[in-house]
């Protein structure tokens, strides 16, 4: 799929998936199918330091998503998801899923809360959460009335954020209790959510960002919402207003970067650091 030439890596053809193990030299690569060696059914683990392919895994159907951390390799197909030991590449578990044409999934890099989230329905926005270390189901969450469009887990595995195909509401659930923690309104009119991303903090994921077809980037501060909730819970009204109602009034510190995407761009993703937000475009 790729050829090493000294310190250079020469790609022959296009790739549809390239995933890096943190900032290491290990890449997981899936080709776009321009030639047999670039089959979308073949996963290549590639070492950028040596310029060599380490292992290849072949599947019956196209690979739609790949995720990895220091212990696990996740491969998502349309109706199956495989969990591998990343060292030995032994299959540890096979999960039968609903039809997942978009390859939606979220995987936590944390080994303490090593969760994998997958769509649980094609009719509504529910998701199944698995513990990839203990190889067992953790919980199922009904997040939206419409099918899911985006899923992301926080770096520490504490929270999962979701958006539906409607794209107006973003919800955040606490995984330890499978309970809704926040509901953030992105906008009034429907929009396609392209990506969600938490800030990389391993202690408290205090920032959540979303990109959409509206061309804007929305940034929500969970820390602000936590403080607001804490103040509200100590008020007199908190004892008489149901939690399901007060949750609807959670107002995150909400920033909108309008016209952040050039005309003609159909896909874009964002990367958050502790101080900066970067938007990567793909025509």
Q: According to the model, what pLDDT value does residue 223 have?
A: 67
Q: Does the structure show a pLDDT above 90 at 260? A: no
Running DSSP on this structure, what letter comes out for residue 82? E
Q: Does the structure show a pLDDT above 80 at 273? A: no
Is residue 171 assigned to a domain?
yes
CA 226 – CA 9 distance, rounded (Å): 46
Q: Does the structure show a pLDDT above 90 at 256? A: no
Ramachandran angles phi, psi of 38, nearest 5°: -110, 35
Phi-psi region of 222 (alpha: psi -120 to 50; beta: other; left: phi over 0): alpha
Running DSSP on this structure, what letter comes out for residue 98? S
Q: Round to the nearest angstrom and report the end-to-end CA distance of the chain.
A: 23
- For 251, the domain range is 106-282
Q: Which range is least confidently modeled, 40-49, 94-103, 209-218, 238-247?
A: 238-247
Is residue 258 assigned to a domain?
yes
Q: According to the model, what pLDDT value does residue 105 have?
A: 97
Domain tally, the chain: 1
Mean pLDDT across 66-71: 96
The pLDDT confidence band at residue 222, using thresholds 50, 70 and 90, is: confident
176, 195 contact by CB (below 8 A): no
Q: According to the model, what pLDDT value does residue 204 have?
A: 60
Q: Does the structure show a pLDDT above 70 at 275? A: no
Q: What is the mean pLDDT of the chain?
A: 81
Is residue 144 assigned to a domain?
yes
> Which of 41, 40, 50 shows the shortest CA–CA distance to 9?
50
Is residue 166 assigned to a domain?
yes
Is residue 152 assigned to a domain?
yes
Q: Does the structure show a pLDDT above 50 at 33? A: yes
Mean pLDDT across 239-260: 51
Is residue 255 assigned to a domain?
yes
Give the CATH number of the domain where residue 172 resides: 2.130.10.10
The pLDDT confidence band at residue 232, using thresholds 50, 70 and 90, is: very low
Is residue 231 assigned to a domain?
yes
| Percent above pLDDT 70 for the chain | 74
Q: Does the structure show a pLDDT above 70 at 270? A: no
Q: Coil, strand or helix: which one is 71?
A: coil
Q: According to the model, what pLDDT value does residue 206 have?
A: 73
Is residue 48 assigned to a domain?
no
Q: Does the structure show a pLDDT above 80 at 225? A: no
Highest mean pLDDT of the ranges 169-178, 193-202, 268-277: 169-178
What would the pLDDT profile of 38-64 be if each residue is shown by its tens digit?
Answer: 899 999 999 999 989 999 999 999 999
């Amino acid at each position: 799929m790729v050829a090493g030439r000294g310190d250079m890596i020469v790609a022959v053809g296009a790739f549809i998936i390239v995933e890096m193990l943190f900032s290491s030299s290990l890449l997981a690569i899936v080709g776009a199918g321009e030639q047999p060696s670039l089959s979308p059914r073949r996963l290549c683990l590639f070492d950028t330091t040596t310029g060599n392919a380490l292992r290849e895994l072949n599947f019956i159907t196209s690979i739609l998503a790949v995720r990895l951390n220091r212990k696990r390799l996740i491969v998502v197909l349309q109706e199956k998801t495989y969990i591998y030991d990343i060292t030995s590449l032994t299959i540890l578990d096979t999960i039968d899923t609903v039809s997942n044409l978009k390859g939606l999934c979220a995987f936590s890099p944390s080994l303490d809360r090593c969760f994998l989230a997958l769509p649980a329905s094609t009719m509504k926005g529910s998701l199944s959460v698995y513990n990839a270390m203990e190889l067992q189901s953790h919980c199922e969450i009904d997040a939206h009335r419409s099918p899911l469009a985006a899923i992301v887990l926080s770096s520490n595995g504490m929270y999962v954020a979701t958006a539906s195909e409607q794209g107006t509401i973003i919800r955040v659930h606490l995984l330890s209790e499978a309970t809704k923690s926040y509901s953030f309104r992105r906008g009034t009119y429907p929009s396609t959510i392209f990506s969600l991303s938490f800030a990389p903090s391993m202690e408290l994921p205090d920032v959540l960002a979303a990109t959409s077809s509206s061309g804007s980037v929305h940034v929500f501060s969970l820390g602000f919402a936590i403080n607001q909730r804490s103040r509200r819970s100590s008020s007199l009204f908190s004892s008489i207003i149901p939690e399901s109602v007060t949750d609807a009034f959670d107002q995150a510190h909400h920033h909108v970067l309008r016209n952040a995407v050039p005309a003609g761009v159909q896909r874009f993703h964002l990367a958050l650091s502790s101080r900066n937000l970067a938007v990567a475009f793909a025509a």
